[in-house]
């Protein structure tokens, strides 16, 4: 007679939780790590959850933080489940061996979504393959948009980042009971999740909580405070209220979300615009995270893996036909990219010389990608030779025009390419052997601190996945990035002169100001 496997029960600092066994793995969903961030807690730092008596059921995903849906043009590629409820600061755990004593490596996942969208409940982020391979996987929700990253005179900055820190502290204190080793925690995330990791690695309050980190398509950075303030002020103007946390806390959540979506409609990585972001606050973010990680002693002894997709920009430009619109704008779009990146005409001329077959949209897209992402990640690896590993994901989606776009690697890293939500971006026929290889590298990094290829040094080794057999390329982006080293950028805070077009003719200010309007951006997609 076959024994019936009972549901797993684990004790946490706030009470016991009952999970489920699924395919031999114990899964706990929707565990609160902080109190609901509403009522008197709205726009405030997270507080511990109220303890509970008895055993709390942890069989389903918990509520997701308030967020607007993706616009129709992006929803065809990206899924974002919405679970109603106030108790949205929750996390999930997948473990092969619940109970103390196993001391398995732990991976904590921070989702992307431009700090305005996303959740831990995405099927692409299923932790079962990691637990199957001997890793305790944790994923979590955190406050988004104006609730998590609005900048107000009467409330602390970065409450969403503070949520992530609270979750990380919960994991460090509680994960041993789930079979994890609190001394072997790897923090990994993509896009806005990776940007968050950069800030957490540099945060004084997070020192000692993380052993390793993976930054996928997102560099350490701090947003300009005025850029975030403009986003809040524009929302306040539409709502006809003061730009204060007290006033925003009285606004209905749905109205706030609609207003946020309307105000953020013209924001994108390519053309900029007001957007939410992590800001220097003198506390949890005492200085720019990239500066702290490259010229200070922040996060000393932490192994790093960083990387990008070959065609990041295509997820920003293909939905809604932006690729074709930028190609039609031609020189004006190039001038807009120069203003966005604060460089002169030598940089786009250099890209043209290196890629004579490329269209304007590809030149603009790769320029902005290098400026926002590859340059800072190179700088981060340069500051930590011997303990940094760099990759490039190059497999192209089978869907038209997407190429190796932003977020495409996620189904491969999680080994969840078979779920419909992965196929929305990858199309049909994603190679399982590539997923096996990438997933194995991430697991090995969590276990050993070495994903299986040469660490960063002066030869700039980059592991290339998906462009034929997996290989190590040396300096594959060096020629493009050298163009930036030779350029004379305008320092932040100073006014950039109106750039000349790559053909030498001057631009008119009205041309640059009209680029955003002429693109007719369909929705917010700052970063996935």
Q: Which residues are catalytic?
A: 191, 312, 406
Q: Which residues lie across from 305 on neighbouring strands?
A: 214, 389
Q: Which residues lie across from 56 on neighbouring strands?
A: 17
Strand boundaries in 104-149, DSSP class E: 104-110, 136-140
Alpha-carbon torsion angle 252, 254, 255, 256, nearest 10: 80
User: Most distant CA pair in the chain: distance in Å?
Assistant: 84
Q: Which two tokens stand for residue 275?
A: 């957007």
Exposure on the CB side of residue 135, measured as CA atoms within 13 A: 28
What are the angstrom distances between the C-alpha of 154 and each of 43, 44, 143, 520?
9, 10, 18, 35
Exposure on the CB side of residue 230, measured as CA atoms within 13 A: 12
Q: In which order are the strands placed within the sheet that holds 136-140?
A: 20-22, 25-32, 90-95, 136-140, 104-110, 180-190, 212-216, 303-309, 388-393, 461-465, 471-474
Q: How far is residue 412's CA from residue 401's CA, in Å, rounded to a whole number? A: 20
How many residues does the structure list for the chain?
528
Start-to-end CA distance of the chain, whole Å, equals 50
SS3 139: strand
Sign of CA dihedral 206, 139, 275, 42: negative
Q: How far is residue 276's CA from residue 290's CA, in Å, rounded to a whole number? A: 18
265-281 residues labelled b (16+ CB within 10 A) or e (exposed):
ebbbbbbbbbbbbbbbb
Helix (H) or strand (E) holding 137: strand 136-140
Place of tokens 């902005």: 368
How, if at all, do strands 303-309 and 388-393 pair? parallel
Helix (H) or strand (E) holding 209: none
């Amino acid at each position: 007679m076959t024994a019936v496997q009972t549901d797993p029960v684990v004790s946490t600092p706030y009470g016991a939780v009952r999970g489920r066994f699924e395919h031999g793995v114990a899964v706990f969903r929707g565990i609160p790590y902080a109190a609901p961030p509403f009522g008197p807690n709205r726009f405030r730092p997270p507080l511990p959850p109220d303890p509970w008596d008895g055993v709390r059921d942890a069989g389903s995903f918990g509520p997701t933080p308030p967020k607007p849906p993706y616009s129709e043009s992006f929803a065809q590629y990206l899924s974002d489940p919405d679970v109603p409820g106030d108790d949205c600061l929750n996390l999930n755990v997948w473990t092969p061996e619940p109970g103390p004593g196993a001391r398995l490596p732990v991976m904590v996942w921070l989702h992307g979504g431009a700090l305005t969208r996303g959740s831990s409940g995405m099927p692409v982020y299923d932790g079962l393959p990691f637990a199957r391979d001997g890793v305790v996987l944790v994923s979590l929700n955190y406050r988004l948009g104006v609730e998590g990253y609005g900048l107000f005179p009467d409330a602390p900055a970065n409450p969403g980042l503070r949520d992530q820190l609270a979750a990380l502290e919960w994991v460090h204190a509680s994960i041993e009971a789930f079979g994890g080793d609190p001394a072997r925690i790897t923090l990994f995330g993509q896009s806005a999740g990776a940007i968050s990791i950069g800030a957490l690695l540099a945060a004084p309050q997070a020192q000692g909580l993380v052993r390793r980190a993976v930054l996928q398509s997102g560099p350490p950075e701090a947003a300009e405070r005025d850029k975030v303030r403009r986003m809040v002020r524009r929302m306040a103007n539409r709502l006809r209220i003061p730009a204060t946390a007290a006033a925003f806390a009285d606004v209905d959540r749905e109205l706030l979300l609609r207003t946020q979506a309307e105000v953020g409609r013209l924001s994108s990585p390519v053309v900029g615009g007001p957007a939410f972001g992590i800001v220097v606050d003198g506390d949890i973010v005492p200085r720019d995270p990239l500066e702290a990680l490259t010229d200070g002693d922040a996060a000393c002894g932490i192994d790093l893996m960083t990387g990008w997709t070959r065609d990041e920009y295509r997820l920003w430009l293909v939905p809604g036909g932006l690729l074709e619109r930028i190609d039609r704008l031609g020189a004006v779009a190039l001038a807009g990219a120069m203003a966005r990146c604060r460089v002169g005409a030598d940089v786009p001329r250099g890209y043209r010389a290196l890629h004579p077959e490329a269209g304007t949209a590809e030149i603009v897209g790769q320029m902005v990608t290098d400026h926002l992402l590859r340059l800072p990640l190179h700088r981060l690896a340069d500051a930590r030779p011997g303990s940094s590993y760099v990759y490039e994901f190059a497999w192209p989606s089978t869907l038209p025009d997407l190429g190796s776009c932003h977020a495409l690697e996620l189904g491969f890293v999680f080994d969840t390419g078979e779920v419909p939500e992965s196929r929305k971006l990858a199309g049909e026929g994603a190679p399982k052997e590539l997923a096996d290889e990438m997933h194995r590298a991430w697991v090995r990094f969590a276990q050993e601190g070495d994903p299986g290829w040469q660490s960063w040094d002066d030869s700039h080794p980059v592991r290339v996945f998906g462009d034929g057999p997996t290989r190590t390329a040396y300096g594959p982006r060096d020629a493009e990035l050298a163009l930036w080293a030779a350029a004379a950028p305008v320092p932040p805070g100073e006014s950039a002169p109106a750039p000349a077009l790559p053909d030498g003719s001057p631009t008119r200010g009205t041309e640059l100001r009209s680029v955003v309007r002429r693109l007719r951006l369909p929705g917010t997609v700052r970063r996935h």
